[in-house]
Structure 1
Amino acid sequence: MDDMRFFQHFILNAYPHLPVNNSQVWIQTVPAFSHNYDYLMHSMLGLAATHLSAITNVDYSDAALSHRVRAIEGFNKALSKKPEKEPDGDALLATMYSLTFQSAFMSDSLIEFLIMVRGCVMLSGQLLSQSSIAFFVIDWYSHLKYMEPRLDDLPFVDVSLAERAAESLEALKLVLEDEVNSFYYHELVNVVSGIKVSSKLGYWRLVGIYNVMGMLSDAKFSAFANPNNTIGQILLAHFMALEVVMLPMLEREYDKTFPTNQLINRCNWFDTIEGSVPPEFQHFIRWPAEILNDAREKWKAMAMTSGLTVAKRT
């Protein structure tokens, strides 16, 4: 019975909003062929179970983890073969996105989330080069074409927020330790400079950062995502804060109201980062802490009227 509920919840409320402008594929096409791909079905049920656990008081974590493990096992086997028929490529992509979005709701899963984001970028490029996508529209031009009219009349970002972000990043210049941290740092600086020009430019530069994960070599990605990379963790905290600042722009990606609970787990991730940063580096995360803790309080207020469970500070 739970799996039936998970399946229904996936279609109604839990399917990924990315790639943009693919809602009908997620709602109609993917469920229609999912029974032919066990790993895809498990990824859908796992995401739905995790999502339900995040927005209700019912704990489906055991079922969510079981489905996730089986989805990953099946996905890895399928990935070792080149897609041969429709919709093999779409099944792989849908599984990758479902696993990624599930990790976004999981506590202590920041590294796993980064790995999954990297997987989405790399798999998308591979499937496009092989012309192995039958239903999803995933090329960058289509994203641009869909989003441009939706980004009209955007609200302005408070100039003081952008200035404080710039000041916080400027202070980090003194402690950048290697090429990888410097690369990600400059991507964040570009986002902030874009915000100062316009909300639209800030949006395009922010979403472009996700592609950075796929551009790094395996060695550089591992070095950057390592929890012991203190500067890298501080940079990720800044990225989370910028996501919150840009929330009014990011919600334009959705066909319906932006599900704020998708970002709630960022508070848990930030708490972990904050707790791991040595005392001598704590001042570098003051700005992200200000943004994320303020957002946490706002989300708590929203939860009181919507029944959401909001992460508490540890």
Structure 2
Amino acid sequence: MVDLRFFHHFLLHAYPGLPIQGEEVWKEVAKYSHSFDFLAHAMLAVGASHLGLCNGNDYNSDAISHRVKAIKSLNSALNTPCKNKEEGDARYATLMALTWQSSYMPDVFQFEDSAFRMFTTEGHVQRVNDINSGFDIGLSDHEAIDAGIASIKAIAPLSQTTLEISLAAALQSILEMSRTSCIGGFGAVCRSYQLFGGASDSDFLAISNSDNHVSQIIMAHFFAIEYVLASIALVPVSPSFPFRKTIITAWILRVKRQVPASYGAYIEWPLEFTAKVNRDWGAKPSCASGLLGGKVILQRPGGQENSEP
């Protein structure tokens, strides 16, 4: 019966937030689950991880069990070509679901080659522009932006790979853009994913290495900036990302614990910047918990509020 609950929760609340406003897409995909074990287990894994975050119960063993079964079943299926379009869609949906599940699990919140290198940038950026209907706003806390640029400039000289150097430069540019345009800044974040897709294998492995303290700190800045700008750019669909802040904060705190004390100062700004969301910049859920079911209110200049269901 608990698996039925996980499946039900997936359909109502836990389906991946991409594509944007893709609830109907995932309901259609769910119809394939009875034919493909890997998809069924992936959906149950996501549902279990998400439900545990919602109600505080520990479904971690269930989530991991279904995740392992999904991966094993998918690996077996990949030994043969797809028999039809439905199987191809089911395989792709399984990869997306498993990648999305990792964002609900702080201990595995890390890079997945398939997630970064399959990212389709321009379509995603255009969709973000569309859902905001031309409305845009810049971040008002220029002191926080200045501090972020200074923080990135401090860690950048320690970079050892082309990817780390390029990413540090991109993040400084994104913060500058966010002074006047959060939508533009978020679009630049989306485009910066192309840096991962174009990186050499050695650079990609280096930045994915949890023992590479510099890369982990740079990525903490990346995720903090991406989250803050997304919290504003994706206000109309933010209920699709209810635990993003919890997971990112947990991941950055883990980086802080893992890096040597001499690196401690470099990780402070990402934590402070992330903490400002829902507090200082007007992008906030109408319900106190910030979880599912509330409206999202965007404070426009002059005090006008724009509510989205």
TM-score by shorter chain over 0.5? yes
Question: How far apart are 1:178 and its partner, in Å?
Answer: 2.6
- 1:16 correspondence with 2:11: no
Q: Which residue of 2 aligns with 1:214?
A: 197
Higher relative contact order (CA 8 A, sep 6+): 1
Q: Which residue of 2 aligns with 1:264?
A: 246
Q: Distance in 1 between matches of 2:78 and 2:178?
A: 38
Q: Distance in 2 between matches of 1:185 and 1:273?
A: 17
Q: Distance in 2 between matches of 1:69 and 1:295?
A: 34
Mapped contact 1:93–1:120 kept (Cα < 8 A)? no
Question: How far apart are 1:51 and its partner, in Å?
Answer: 0.3
Q: Distance in 2 between matches of 1:84 and 1:39?
A: 15
- 1:179 correspondence with 2:165: no
Give 3-state SS (helix, strand or coil) of 2:139's partner.
coil
What amino acid is the match of 2:253? D
Mapped contact 1:40–1:95 kept (Cα < 8 A)? yes
**Structure 2 unaligned residues grouped into runs of 5+:** 292-309
Q: Distance in 2 between matches of 1:143 and 1:199?
A: 15
Q: Which residue of 1 aligns with 2:262?
A: 280
Q: How does 1:137-286 map to 2 (within 5 A)?
A: 140-151=121-132, 152-158=134-140, 159-252=142-235, 254=237, 257-286=239-268
Q: Distance in 2 between matches of 1:213 and 1:197?
A: 26
Residues 243 and 144 (structure 1 numbering): CA distance in 2 closer, same or farther, change over 3 Å? closer
Q: Which residue of 2 aligns with 1:108?
A: 107
Question: How far apart are 1:74 and its partner, in Å?
Answer: 1.5
C-alpha deviations, 1:171-204, integer Å up to 9, x for none? Answer: 2232222323213222322322332342221010
C-alpha deviations, 1:143-162, integer Å up to 9, x for none? Answer: 34432222321232123332
Q: Distance in 1 between matches of 2:79 and 2:202?
A: 21
TM normalised by structure 2 equals 0.83
Give 3-state SS (helix, strand or coil) of 1:272's partner.
helix
Question: How far apart are 1:64 and its partner, in Å?
Answer: 0.7
Greater fraction of residues in helix: 1
Question: How far apart are 1:215 and its partner, in Å?
Answer: 2.8
Question: How far apart are 1:272 and its partner, in Å?
Answer: 1.0
Q: Distance in 2 between matches of 1:250 and 1:37?
A: 35
Q: How many pairs does the alignment contain? A: 286
Question: How far apart are 1:77 and its partner, in Å?
Answer: 2.5
Question: How far apart are 1:44 and its partner, in Å?
Answer: 0.4
**Structure 1 unaligned residues grouped into runs of 5+:** 126-138, 309-314
Mapped contact 1:157–1:199 kept (Cα < 8 A)? yes
Q: Distance in 2 between matches of 1:236 and 1:252?
A: 23
Mapped contact 1:237–1:270 kept (Cα < 8 A)? yes
Residues 204 and 53 (structure 1 numbering): CA distance in 2 closer, same or farther, change over 3 Å? same
Question: How far apart are 1:260 and its partner, in Å?
Answer: 3.2
Q: Distance in 2 between matches of 1:250 and 1:46?
A: 28
Residues 233 and 71 (structure 1 numbering): CA distance in 2 closer, same or farther, change over 3 Å? same
Structure 1 runs (4+) deviating above 4 angstroms are 293-298
TM normalised by structure 1 equals 0.81
Output the aligned Cα RMSD.
2.7
Give 3-state SS (helix, strand or coil) of 1:35's partner.
coil
Mapped contact 1:119–1:214 kept (Cα < 8 A)? no
Q: Which residue of 2 aligns with 1:2?
A: 2
Mapped contact 1:20–1:253 kept (Cα < 8 A)? no
Q: Distance in 2 between matches of 1:249 and 1:172?
A: 27
Task: Single out whichever of 173-182 and 201-210 deviates more from structure 2.
Answer: 173-182
Question: How far apart are 1:307 and its partner, in Å?
Answer: 9.0
What amino acid is the match of 1:200? I
Give 3-state SS (helix, strand or coil) of 1:306's partner.
coil
Mapped contact 2:245–2:274 kept (Cα < 8 A)? no
Q: Distance in 2 between matches of 1:96 and 1:253?
A: 26
